[in-house]
A and B are shown apart, each in its own frame.
Chain A
Amino acid sequence: MIPTALEFQLLLPVLIIAAGILISLIIEMFSSKSEKILPWFSIALFVSTAYYSLLTVGHERIIFNSMLAAGGTANIFFFVFTFGAAIVTLISIDYIKKIGMYYGEYYILLQSAVLGMMLMANAQDLVMIFMGLEQMSVCFYILAGFNRKKIKSNEAAMKYFLLGAFATGFIVYGIALMYGVAQTMSIPAIANGLLIYSDNIIFVAGLLLFIIGFSFKIAAVPFHMWVPDVYQGSPTSITALMSTGGKAAAFSSLLIIFTPLFATTQSTLFQPYLVVIATLSMLLGSIVAIAQTDLKRMLAYSSISHAGYILIGVAAGSELGIASVIFYLSAYTFMNLGTFGIISMIENKDEGNLSLNDYSGLGNKKPMLAALLAIFMFALAGIPPFAGFFGKYYVFIAAIESNLTWLAIVGVLSSVISIYFYLRVVVVMYFQKDENILNVEDSSPALLGIMISALLVIVMGIAPGSIINLISNFVK
């Protein structure tokens, strides 16, 4: 069947980015001022896509011969990816100049990675999920090693590539097994026969392999080994996107697979697996983060523990759970982007100033940055009235409603542990005497990006009503 004009129109968010990538390539090739033009072009691209995604969120349907979905949760994810990427671009402008890694490909790869994420969020076919995943991952492999003169960056890229390829292997194998049983790659078609397939051990094994592959991508324990090194070694702006958009995209694919399953009587088929990795991720992430002195590494472990909280929502296996996952991911995206934005501003050109002690006395030297970082830390720790708190409230409701009260208790205990290391950042900034001389180069685009994140974090904490409404309207 030939796609109709309406279908193209509904796919516009993806098409805008795809066209943008081509235009960016041309700008980079022919313009001598590409360094100045490209970032702002990317931002315009991302923001317009974000806007258009929200505009068409209500037009929910399956398009392109049931290859893709349009509207609904896919568009909410589009918004998170593109708006997040716009903030990442703002952060990158001065950052990549500062550490001397400006190459035109940077912004183009960023756009391509976002395109991959979008395909992961609106796929309705196993092949599309795989394509999107690879598109995103390959861009990330390159971007992780983008600071090519630094050995750490190279190490990060290599590790990420090897383990990422390994995880991809699991996913492909899982797809193959599922295809073998179901004789189709189309997710709606698989969903129709899910009750029959879920008795088939080969299909379940395929699905499990698929989920394990994605457990790598969302950085859940015990598949988290790559996270600390990659997050630490990659350029900070790339870590920001990887830990937010990348994680959200992987979760969006998981939800696409799980949503049909939750609608059947087999909704708790993978609950044992999910609760185990959720528990391990929350606790290990929080506990190991305490021992870190490098801020990026600490946030890597924090990101592992947040994957655990989000998995609580998945494990709940209900509509409420899915909605809570989407809310949590959006909140987490902006909290983390803001944090990494501040880190990128404070980092100096030799990738120094990354340890916790370098932040001592920041409250006196850079009151604005310190106050913003404190907000993000309280938000990540889940203290009201910021977005992180409401995210946790939401996933805990989902857990308790699905009779997983004990998992919620594990969640709060791990939150208490995590408060220690988040608070330590505040302690260092405000309560300790400043001994070192910190030279922070001002960057107004980055500050703008950070302030937008902070605003969203506060708004999503104080008035989450309309966002929850939006999400829960489209979760079925």
Chain B
Amino acid sequence: MENNFLLTYLLLTPLVGGFLLLLIPSQKKQFIKNAGLGISLIAFVISLIIYFNFDQSKPDFQFVQKFVWIENFNISYFVGVDGLSLILVLLTTFLTPLTLLSSWSSIQHKVKEFTFFMLLLQVGMLGVFVSLDLFMFYIFWEAMLIPMYFIIGIWGGGRRIYASVKFFIYTMLGSLLMLVAIIWLAVFASNELGYFTTNLLELYKIGPNVPHEIQKWMFLAFALSFAIKVPIFPLHTWLPDAHVEAPTAGSVILAGVLLKMGTYGLIRFCLPLFPQASIDIAPMMSILAIIGIIYGALVAMVQKDMKKLVAYSSVSHLGFVVLGIFSFTHEAMQGAVIQMVNHGLSTGALFLLVGVVYERTHTREISDYGGIAKVVPIFSVAFLFAILSSVGLPGLNGFIGEFLILLGAFKSPVLNSWWYSIFAASGVIFAAVYLLWMYQRVVFGELNTNPKLDHLTDMNARELIVIIPIFFFIVWIGVYPSTFLNISDATVSNLINQVLNTPLSVVK
């Protein structure tokens, strides 16, 4: 039996919780931290309940709930999850409490506001993943910028103002063009169906009817917005700035969940709404993805700042996801979905660990470190673990995703060339180079006599509690990925059929 209110509860928990937090006096910092953590844990429990009641054999949306919201434009509050959104909902609810816990000591001023914005951010992210109405999706997609903007701007580093404004305007540029496309599609629907609608399930039916020439423009308008978020080369320039200036918790959420909203958008909206255009444009997107993989890796290699290095590695890793999406094979798409989760876990862990040392030394320059293995053995092991997961060592999670994507791209009927996989595979090698090289310079060798390292102490219990659950899932996905692959299996098969089975006459 389905409880249809579950998704609404999931959205309301952080929303109501966040506003209730505002009523608590700011001095009670510890209580606010505990309360924020508690609220996000409740959200996690709700998402687990959804997971256990989710029927993995069905590709349809489940836990669907619909209310009329704005009658005149046929806009509804319409939520539901399928395998794809469920896995990202779980990722969001899993990472949020961990990030709150990780900022326990690094965020000292305006704790209340910080917790409030983090919870609001969670509402926005969850809303994006569960919305089945384009208008509602857009509201969450945009509204989420506000808390992130404040998180970077108030608690960020030295160039935080530049980074936060750049982040905001960059994202807005893409999404406002998407807004025009959404409205255009809704008006098109009103000509086809006789009524204006932004209901995604209805638009799925009429999207393929959009004339071929216009479909390309519509695809590009949507894809631009998602490509900025992912980010796909050459739209990635906001990312290093935002990552470097954001506080640790912001970086983890940014890398862990926000970037996935872009790839999620591509799968959820671009492909099924404009199938012919997606197939036409797939080679171009794949080439951009591969440029991103290689370019991100090469730029990461020469970074002096650890956070910036990890940020560029995100550009490279998400290139794989995009390649997986536009291969249109079951393996590659499944690989893309699992790689989204993997990237959230591995890169999240890397940012958390960089945050751990940064909090003590206030430097992220690789050259300021060296030989810290002797001082902080536990940290060094954890850091190695996260790096190996990110590199794609067999037995850990990264390998599964990358392998599936490369395999799928290899036999893709749409891309129809081996070269995509061959070039993409070089990214795996580069990843090993830049990550292990950074590890070597930071952890091994003679201990750096830099006075900044004087206060370096090993990870404490709280930090271990944050990192161990992530490692647990890194190993789980690496050893037995079926648990996670099964969630999205039916959805992905259905999606691929939906895209590839559009009338052949229209497809070139």
**Which residues in A have some Cβ–Cβ distance to B below 8 Å?**
378, 383-385, 389, 393, 396-397, 400-401, 405, 408-409, 412-413, 415-416, 419-420, 423-424, 426-427, 430-432, 463-465, 468-469, 472
Docked CA distance A182–B172 (Å): 49
Report chain A residues within 8 Å CB of B68. Answer: 465
Report chain A residues within 8 Å CB of B298. Answer: none
Interchain residue pairs A-B with the least CB separation, the first 3:
A412-B176, A465-B70, A384-B139
Nearest CB to that of A392 among chain B residues?
B179
Which one, B161, B173, B183, contacts A393 given CB within 8 A? Answer: B183
Is B236 located at the chain interface by the 8 A CB criterion?
no
Which one, B138, B168, B184, contacts A423 given CB within 8 A? Answer: B168
Is B13 located at the chain interface by the 8 A CB criterion?
no
Which one, A385, A397, A413, contacts B139 given CB within 8 A? Answer: A385
Nearest CB to that of B217 among chain A residues?
A405
Report chain A residues within 8 Å CB of B73. Answer: 397, 468
CB distance from A467 to the nearest CB of B (A): 10
Is B143 located at the chain interface by the 8 A CB criterion?
yes
User: Once the chains bind, are B164 and A431 in contact (CB under 8 Å)?
Assistant: yes
Contact A405/B184 with A383-B146, A385-B143 known, Cβ cut-off 8 Å: yes
User: Once the chains bind, are A409 and B177 in contact (CB under 8 Å)?
Assistant: yes
User: Once the chains bind, are A412 and B165 in contact (CB under 8 Å)?
Assistant: no
Is B61 located at the chain interface by the 8 A CB criterion?
no
User: Once the chains bind, are A420 and B139 in contact (CB under 8 Å)?
Assistant: no
Is B187 located at the chain interface by the 8 A CB criterion?
yes
Report chain B residues within 8 Å CB of A427. Answer: 153, 161, 164-165
Is B261 located at the chain interface by the 8 A CB criterion?
no
For B123-157 the 0/1 string (1 means CB < 8 A from A) is 00000000000010011001101100110011000
Docked CA distance A183–B132 (Å): 57
| B residues 193-221 in Cβ contact with A at 8 Å | 196
User: Once the chains bind, are B70 and A468 in contact (CB under 8 Å)?
Assistant: yes
User: Once the chains bind, are B71 and A465 in contact (CB under 8 Å)?
Assistant: yes
**Which residues in B have some Cβ–Cβ distance to A below 8 Å?**
68-73, 135, 138-139, 142-143, 145-146, 149-150, 153-154, 160-161, 164-165, 168-169, 172-173, 176-177, 179-180, 183-184, 186-187, 190, 196
Docked CA distance A383–B140 (Å): 10
Nearest CB to that of B160 among chain A residues?
A431
Contact A412/B179 with A405-B184, A423-B165, A468-B70 known, Cβ cut-off 8 Å: yes
Docked CA distance A385–B117 (Å): 15
User: Once the chains bind, are B143 and A408 in contact (CB under 8 Å)?
Assistant: no
User: Once the chains bind, are A419 and B172 in contact (CB under 8 Å)?
Assistant: yes
User: Once the chains bind, are A389 and B176 in contact (CB under 8 Å)?
Assistant: no
User: Once the chains bind, are A468 and B180 in contact (CB under 8 Å)?
Assistant: no
Docked CA distance A413–B177 (Å): 8
Report chain A residues within 8 Å CB of B164. Answer: 427, 431
CB distance from B79 to the nearest CB of A (A): 16
Nearest CB to that of A364 among chain B residues?
B110
User: Once the chains bind, are A465 and B138 in contact (CB under 8 Å)?
Assistant: no
Contact A400/B187 with A384-B143, A416-B173, A465-B72 known, Cβ cut-off 8 Å: yes
Report chain A residues within 8 Å CB of B69. Answer: 463, 465
User: Once the chains bind, are A472 and B187 in contact (CB under 8 Å)?
Assistant: no
Report chain B residues within 8 Å CB of A420. Answer: 165, 169
Contact A416/B176 with A383-B146, A430-B153, A431-B164 known, Cβ cut-off 8 Å: yes
Docked CA distance A432–B165 (Å): 13
Contact A389/B183 with A423-B165, A472-B72 known, Cβ cut-off 8 Å: no
Interface centre among A383, A408, A415, A464 (most CB of B within 10 A): A383
Contact A431/B168 with A383-B145, A383-B146, A400-B187 known, Cβ cut-off 8 Å: no
Report chain B residues within 8 Å CB of A464. Answer: 70
CB distance from A377 to the nearest CB of B (A): 11
CB distance from A252 to the nearest CB of B (A): 21
User: Once the chains bind, are A419 and B154 in contact (CB under 8 Å)?
Assistant: no
Docked CA distance A430–B114 (Å): 13
Docked CA distance A472–B72 (Å): 8
Which one, A397, A401, A416, contacts B172 given CB within 8 A? Answer: A416
User: Once the chains bind, are B71 and A397 in contact (CB under 8 Å)?
Assistant: no
Docked CA distance A384–B141 (Å): 9
CB distance from A268 to the nearest CB of B (A): 18
A396-B180, A419-B169, A469-B71 known; 6 new pairs, CB 8 Å cut-off, are: A383-B172, A385-B139, A400-B187, A430-B154, A431-B160, A432-B161
Which one, B71, B135, B150, contacts A430 given CB within 8 A? Answer: B150
User: Once the chains bind, are A419 and B180 in contact (CB under 8 Å)?
Assistant: no
Report chain A residues within 8 Å CB of B72. Answer: 465, 468-469, 472
Docked CA distance A76–B142 (Å): 30
User: Once the chains bind, are B153 and A431 in contact (CB under 8 Å)?
Assistant: yes
User: Once the chains bind, are B143 and A412 in contact (CB under 8 Å)?
Assistant: no
Report chain A residues within 8 Å CB of B139. Answer: 384-385, 389
User: Once the chains bind, are A384 and B70 in contact (CB under 8 Å)?
Assistant: no
Report chain A residues within 8 Å CB of B173. Answer: 416
Docked CA distance A385–B190 (Å): 25
Docked CA distance A415–B177 (Å): 11
Contact A408/B183 with A383-B142, A420-B165 known, Cβ cut-off 8 Å: yes
Report chain B residues within 8 Å CB of A432. Answer: 161
Nearest CB to that of B69 among chain A residues?
A465
CB distance from B265 to the nearest CB of A (A): 16
User: Once the chains bind, are A412 and B160 in contact (CB under 8 Å)?
Assistant: no
Report chain A residues within 8 Å CB of B196. Answer: 397
Report chain B residues within 8 Å CB of A463. Answer: 69-70
Interface centre among B68, B149, B176, B190 (most CB of A within 10 A): B176
CB distance from A69 to the nearest CB of B (A): 23
Contact A412/B142 with A397-B73, A423-B165 known, Cβ cut-off 8 Å: no
User: Once the chains bind, are A378 and B146 in contact (CB under 8 Å)?
Assistant: yes
User: Once the chains bind, are B138 and A384 in contact (CB under 8 Å)?
Assistant: yes
Docked CA distance A401–B176 (Å): 17
Report chain A residues within 8 Å CB of B179. Answer: 393, 396, 412
CB distance from A253 to the nearest CB of B (A): 25
User: Once the chains bind, are A400 and B138 in contact (CB under 8 Å)?
Assistant: no
Which one, B71, B168, B186, contacts A419 given CB within 8 A? Answer: B168
Nearest CB to that of A390 among chain B residues?
B70
User: Once the chains bind, are A412 and B177 in contact (CB under 8 Å)?
Assistant: yes
Nearest CB to that of A405 among chain B residues?
B184
Report chain B residues within 8 Å CB of A385. Answer: 139, 143
Contact A397/B70 with A384-B143, A405-B180, A431-B164 known, Cβ cut-off 8 Å: no
User: Once the chains bind, are B183 and A400 in contact (CB under 8 Å)?
Assistant: yes
Docked CA distance A405–B179 (Å): 11
CB distance from B297 to the nearest CB of A (A): 31
Report chain B residues within 8 Å CB of A400. Answer: 180, 183-184, 187
CB distance from A165 to the nearest CB of B (A): 40
Docked CA distance A431–B184 (Å): 37
Nearest CB to that of B144 among chain A residues?
A384
Docked CA distance A393–B70 (Å): 13
Report chain A residues within 8 Å CB of B70. Answer: 463-465, 468
User: Once the chains bind, are A409 and B180 in contact (CB under 8 Å)?
Assistant: yes
Report chain B residues within 8 Å CB of A413. Answer: 176
Report chain B residues within 8 Å CB of A401. Answer: 187, 190
Report chain A residues within 8 Å CB of B142. Answer: 383-384, 389
CB distance from B178 to the nearest CB of A (A): 9
Residue contacts A-B, CB under 8 angstroms, 18 given: A383-B143, A383-B146, A384-B142, A384-B143, A401-B187, A408-B180, A412-B180, A415-B176, A419-B168, A419-B172, A424-B165, A426-B149, A427-B164, A430-B150, A431-B161, A431-B164, A464-B70, A468-B73
Docked CA distance A408–B187 (Å): 13
CB distance from B238 to the nearest CB of A (A): 14
CB distance from A211 to the nearest CB of B (A): 27
Nearest CB to that of A414 among chain B residues?
B176
CB distance from A90 to the nearest CB of B (A): 25
Report chain A residues within 8 Å CB of B71. Answer: 465, 469
Docked CA distance A368–B34 (Å): 25
